[in-house]
Amino acid sequence: MKPVMLKLAGLHSFREAQTVDFEKLGEAGLFGIFGPTGSGKSTVLDAVTLALYGLVERAGGRNQGIVNHAEERVLVEFTFELADPEGIKRYRVERVYKRTGENTVAAANSRLVEYTGGAEIVLAEKSRVTDAVVEILGLSADDFTRAVVLPQGKFAEFLSLKPRDRRQMLQRLFGLQDYGDRFISKLKNRLNLAKIEKENILGEKEGLGEASDQAVTAALEKLGEAREIVRQAGLKKERLGVLHGEMQQVWNWQSELEGVMNALQKQDTRQTEINLIEKKLELGSRAERVAPYLTEEQRDSEAYDKSEADLEYSRSQLDGAVLLAGEAGEKLRAAEALRQSRESLLLEQRSQLIRAEKLEPDCLLLQEQLKIITDEGNSKIGEKKNLAENLEKLTIDKRELEEKLEHIRVQLKNCFVEPDRRRQVANALTALKNYRNAQKEAEHWERITRDKEQELNKAAGLKRAAEGTLLQRKGMLQEALVREKAILEHCPEQGEEINSAVQELERLRSRAENYIRCSREMNDAGAEVLRRRGEYATLALLAREAAGQLALITGQLGEAGKATGRLQAALEEGRNRDMARHLAQSLQQGKPCPVCGSIVHPAPVPGDGVEGLRSLEIELRHARDAEVRWQQEYVRTQRLETAAATKARNAADILGEAEKSLTGKEELAGLAGEKVPRVWAGLQEEDIAAELAAREAVLQQHRRALLEWERESRESKQQLEDKQKVHQAASLELVRAEEMAKGAAHALEESRRRMNTLAGERAVLFAVLDSVRGDMAPHEIEDVQKEIEVRDARSADVDRQREDVESRLAVLLGEIESHAARRNGLLVEISGLREKTEALKQQLAEKESELAAITGGWPATTVKGEVEKKLRDLQQREQEARRADKGAVRERGLREQKLAAATSSLEAARQNLVESREKLCSMLEKTGFADGGQAAAALLDEPIRESMAAEVQNFREQRQNLIRQSSQLENCLQGRKLTPEEWQELQDNFAVSRREYDGGLLELGAVEKEYTRTVANNNRWKVLEARLLELVDLQGRLELLEKLFRGNAFVEYLAEEQLGNVALDASVRLGRITGYRYALEVDSEGGFVMRDDGNGGVKRPVSTLSGGEIFITSLSLALALSAQLQLKGRYPLEFFFLDEGFGTLDPELLETVMTALEQLRQEHLTIGIISHVPELKNRMPRRLVVQPAQLSGDGSRLTFEMA
């Protein structure tokens, strides 16, 4: 994770929007945020945690009290990147909070955005943003402030956590819990699956039943017997089936012939009925000619009757209209007279009522004013009464407070301490504390002096060891230099020539391969052209042969069609003669002929007989079969001819493409041949490859020699570099040991000097104590001081009571004075209100009297409305009468016009009726009907007429079909007959054979199924037995694993291992910072202990560390944790923030810490610190300076600086 940009506004001391460009700020890998105390340095980190997790560690309620006092909202935007293996991913978190109270805020808007391909994708909004951030980073807010961004108060938390809490934190940071859960889940799932599969196998084995090899053999024998039974039954069924099929056809033809003969007999009985239907059809045809005239006469008669009715109706309507017009005139004259008599009186009343409407608001206003003044007077009287009561109560309270104040003054006098005594005790207490502090410091420096002596001895030993190591490393470095010089002197001189020759050989090889490929493609293209030419010649010959064959078959097909036509005509003529013969045979003397109706039959037509027709039918069938065969042959040959022609055309196109391709390949081969040596032009591929291999072998020999020298040179250089590094490390170790010895000697001298100085100071301080304590023993000084403090506390308490009573008494006196003044003012106000009341009452009485005289006590608006309504009713009544009179006159004119039109229509209808009746009589005479009723009775509806005609037509066609069917069925039977008993016996025998065969098949199926099941069960039993043995072994091993990893032991083990790795890395960093004096270890309980190597390896708990020691230890732990942490196990942590502790370091340790931080810039980790220490600011390559808020109202501001 790497920060990119931060924007904040309205947060704590910041008002205007400020932006932090972390890419620019972190260019050097190390930066600092500096500013005075309270300027807002820590707010920068607060903005980061607020954007990511919606909380500020220092704020109550996690995000309360964060808004600047002069702003109404907080805005934070944080952009960061994750170094995913698939590429950099960039995200932006935005949050806006609005003030809801003095110290409370509410989220107004939140969202998480991902930059993808230049676009922004919103991943989450509002309350889901925090969960999405945790999902992306894999860190909770607490983990983030313990391992990544360490605000004030959080720096040393990881060091002081309980072992269990620390392991749980590591589990979350490194995702160990998920790993452990997945492992245990997989183990349990595999064990459960193994158990379930084992139970299933046992159940399946039990359900298989008998599955032995003997059972398989018995089932196979039973299967052979069943197959033999089915074979015998099948032969019998097939034999009877053939016979049943032949007799089935005979029985069907025989049944059909009986049905045809019965149908012919039924038709003979319907002949009279059909003749009657034909007679009705003839009468109906004549009546159709009369139908239009009948319809016209009926229509004209109905029109004449309607015109007569319309004329009578118009006369009655005209009489009514005349009567209504007279009545409307009378009503109009009466309405005019009534309006003229009443209108003037009503107008006078309305004028007076308008005056009354103006008086009513005046009366209401006076009544309202009178009520307000009366209510105000009553209120003043009540207030005066309450003031009198309150004055009496306040006077009583005043006397009580004065008595209490006097009692408090007595108590203050008892708590008073003389100033001289107070000074004496204070001086004695100060001298006592100074003496005790000097004594403790002297004892402390005595211990330090002993420790420094041990450190000096240890440093001297380390110096001697480092000198010996440096001498040994120097000899090894000299040997490596000699070997490197010898290898360089034997360097081959032809290195560049070999590389140039290799490149030339590669170019020649590429050209040769291109030449060979082009030649091969040219030869292949030539062969392809020859092959395509042969294919085209063959396909063209086949196409010509197919065209000739098609012409021959076309002629044969025409001849076959002509022969079929001739035979078809001859057969139709023979069938007509045969039908005439059948009809002639059925004629009887005295009965009518079905064709001509004659009852005399002098010369029946003879026929050629059935044999002639059968011969023609056979010839026609043979001719049609021949025509069909020629037609099929024509279609097949035509398809072959088309396919052959298409193939020939395609072959021609392909041949053209192949010839074009050959020309191109020849050109490419010629160009490729020009780029290889001329002597290779006639060589085969094998010879060219051999030539290339020979040249390459020579080059390989030179190359191997060069590579061997390069390998030896690299090894020599690597060894030389290793020796130089070892020698340099030994030199540094000697320098470090010398510096450590000098530092230890200097520290020992300083501690001894300090110890001697403190001894003298302790004696002086004891003399001072003895001179100032007076009559107090040293052990009594603190008790006397406590007694004074108790009196002071009591005095302060009593003094606060006095101030409270005096304040209450002053307030009470002010209230008494205020109440008296208010009471006097109320008396004056009440008198003035009484005078106003009397004046208003007199005005109101005068106006109410005038109003009552006009309205009689009713509301003026109501009375005025009634008067105006009467005026409107008079005017409306006159207008309605006038409209009614006009309407009646207009209606009378319309009725007169309609009467004239009805008279004209009646005359026209009478004339039309006379003409249509004359036409009808003329048509009845022509068609032979006596009258119209007879013609109408003969008419037939269209469906009935069509049905009767169809019935006659169907009768004729059915009779011809029956005669033809009977002839065909007799030809098919050829004299064969079958009795019902014989047919039933044959059916019974065939059914029995089928049942026997079907039963055998069923039995065979059951036996085959049983055999298959037995074989399958036998195979399955063997598989199950083998799998069961495997599962028993697997279950045992899985149960053992489950017992070993029960509970959270596995995850705890991983966390402990991870903690050990972190502690080891932190110990190395701590050693670098402290000159390898301190080291960090993990005890058996999972807690941290400090190993003091400068003090003989003494181990002590972290709770005993000083402020500076806690800082450097926590810093080492935080850096080690950050270096190993990968967010979500994928994204490396690329930055680290620190906001605490630099002020507790002495200059020397601060220098060491800064050197270590500067070295960390080379570990791909950007480090940011927040401090107000000037020495740190001067060492920082990049700085972000926070300018504090101004008294003018401007908020904090950010400025970027470079060293």
* 232 within some domain: yes
Residues 386 and 290 in one domain: yes
Residues 1053 and 1009 in one domain: no
Say what the pLDDT of residue 152 is.
56
Number of CB atoms found within 10 A of residue 867's CB: 18
* Structure-token match 């006596």, residue found: 930
Task: Compute the mean pLDDT over every residue in the chain, rounded to the nearest whole number.
Answer: 78
* 868 within some domain: yes
* 423 within some domain: no
Say what the pLDDT of residue 91 is.
93
Task: Give kind and range of the element (H or E) at residue 8.
Answer: strand 2-9
Average pLDDT over residues 521-543: 81
SS (H, E, C) 184-251: HHHHHHHHHHHHHHHHHHHHHHHHHCCCCHHHHHHHHHHHHHHHHHHHHHHHHHHHHHHHHHHHHHHH
Highest average pLDDT, of 15-24, 213-222, 330-339, 1028-1037, comes from 15-24
Cα–Cα distance, 664 to 667 (Å, whole number): 5
> Hey, what are 82's tokens?
């994750």
Residues 317 and 203 in one domain: no
Average pLDDT over residues 679-691: 68
Per-residue pLDDT of 911-921, as tens digits, reads 777 777 777 77
Which DSSP string do the residues of 521-563 spell out, in sequence order?
HHHHHHHHHHHHHHHHHHHHHHHHHHHHHHHHHHHHHHHHHHH
Per-residue pLDDT of 949-1005, as tens digits, reads 887 788 778 878 887 887 787 777 777 777 888 788 878 887 888 888 888 888 888
Which of the two residues, 147 and 1080, has the higher pLDDT score?
1080
Coil vs helix vs strand at 1135: strand
* 705 within some domain: no
The number of CA neighbours under 13 Å toward the Cβ of 667 is 5
Say what the pLDDT of residue 1145 is.
66
Last residue of a domain, one of 654, 673, 692: 673
Spell out a b/e string for 590-599, using b for 16 or more CB atoms within 10 Å of the CB, else e. Answer: eeeeeeeeee
Say what the pLDDT of residue 48 is.
92
**pLDDT confidence of 75, banded at 50, 70, 90?**
very high
User: Residue 299: which domain range?
Assistant: 275-409+858-923
Cα–Cα distance, 23 to 523 (Å, whole number): 65
Q: Tally the domains of the chain.
A: 5
Contacts of 557 (CB under 8 A, 6+ apart): 627, 630, 631, 633, 634
| Helix, strand, coil % over all residues of the chain, rounded to 5 | 75, 10, 15
Residues 638 and 541 in one domain: yes
Distance from the first to the final alpha carbon of the chain: 26
Average pLDDT over residues 476-496: 67
Asked if residue 1159 has pLDDT above 90, the reply is no
Cα–Cα distance, 7 to 1135 (Å, whole number): 18
Say what the pLDDT of residue 280 is.
77
**pLDDT confidence of 113, banded at 50, 70, 90?**
very high
Contact 45, 1139 (CB under 8 A): yes
Positive or negative: CA dihedral 783, 788, 794, 800: negative
Asked if residue 441 has pLDDT above 80, the reply is no
Pick the closest to residue 12 from 1109, 1186, 1201 (CA basis): 1186
* 795 within some domain: no
Question: Is the pTM above the cut of 0.85?
Answer: no
Spell out a b/e string for 712-723, using b for 16 or more CB atoms within 10 Å of the CB, else e. Answer: eeeebeebbeeb
* 450 within some domain: no
Say what the pLDDT of residue 61 is.
46
Pick the closest to residue 74 from 93, 90, 98 (CA basis): 98
**pLDDT confidence of 52, banded at 50, 70, 90?**
very high
Instruction: Residue 93: give its domain's CATH number.
Output: 3.40.50.300
Say what the pLDDT of residue 1184 is.
92
Instruction: Residue 570: give its domain's CATH number.
Output: 1.10.287
Residues 190 and 249 in one domain: no
Instruction: Residue 192: give its domain's CATH number.
Output: 3.40.50
Say what the pLDDT of residue 1161 is.
59
Contact 550, 634 (CB under 8 A): yes
Contact 401, 809 (CB under 8 A): yes
Cα–Cα distance, 1199 to 1203 (Å, whole number): 13
**Range of weakest confidence among 4-13, 54-63, 282-291:** 54-63
Residues 612 and 649 in one domain: yes
**Range of weakest confidence among 40-54, 151-165, 199-213, 661-675:** 151-165
Task: Give kind and range of the element (H or E) at residue 480.
Answer: helix 419-489
Per-residue pLDDT of 548-590, as tens digits, reads 887 888 887 788 778 878 877 887 777 677 667 666 666 666 6
Per-residue pLDDT of 288-305, as tens digits, reads 877 787 788 778 778 877
* 419 within some domain: no
β partners of residue 1136: 1167
Residues 259 and 289 in one domain: no
Last residue of a domain, one of 647, 673, 699: 673
Say what the pLDDT of residue 19 is.
94
Say what the pLDDT of residue 934 is.
74
**pLDDT confidence of 18, banded at 50, 70, 90?**
very high
Q: What angle do CA 257, 623, 957 make, to 5 degrees?
A: 35
Asked if residue 203 has pLDDT above 80, the reply is no
Highest average pLDDT, of 74-83, 583-592, 732-741, comes from 74-83
Cα–Cα distance, 875 to 336 (Å, whole number): 9
Say what the pLDDT of residue 953 is.
82
Residues 329 and 388 in one domain: yes
Residues 400 and 283 in one domain: yes
Asked if residue 900 has pLDDT above 50, the reply is yes
Angle, helices 176-208/980-1044, rounded to nearest 10 degrees? 140
Angle, helices 610-673/495-586, rounded to nearest 10 degrees? 170
Say what the pLDDT of residue 224 is.
82
Say what the pLDDT of residue 1196 is.
92
* Structure-token match 């808007």, residue found: 109
Asked if residue 1141 has pLDDT above 60, the reply is no
Say what the pLDDT of residue 676 is.
67
* 308 within some domain: yes
Pick the closest to residue 1072 from 1138, 1159, 1137 (CA basis): 1159
Strands 18-21 and 2-9: antiparallel
pLDDT above 90 as % of the chain: 5
Residues 67 and 9 in one domain: yes
Contact 716, 484 (CB under 8 A): yes
Residues 238 and 379 in one domain: no
pLDDT above 70 as % of the chain: 87
Residues 515 and 660 in one domain: yes
The 8-class DSSP code of residue 860 comes to: H
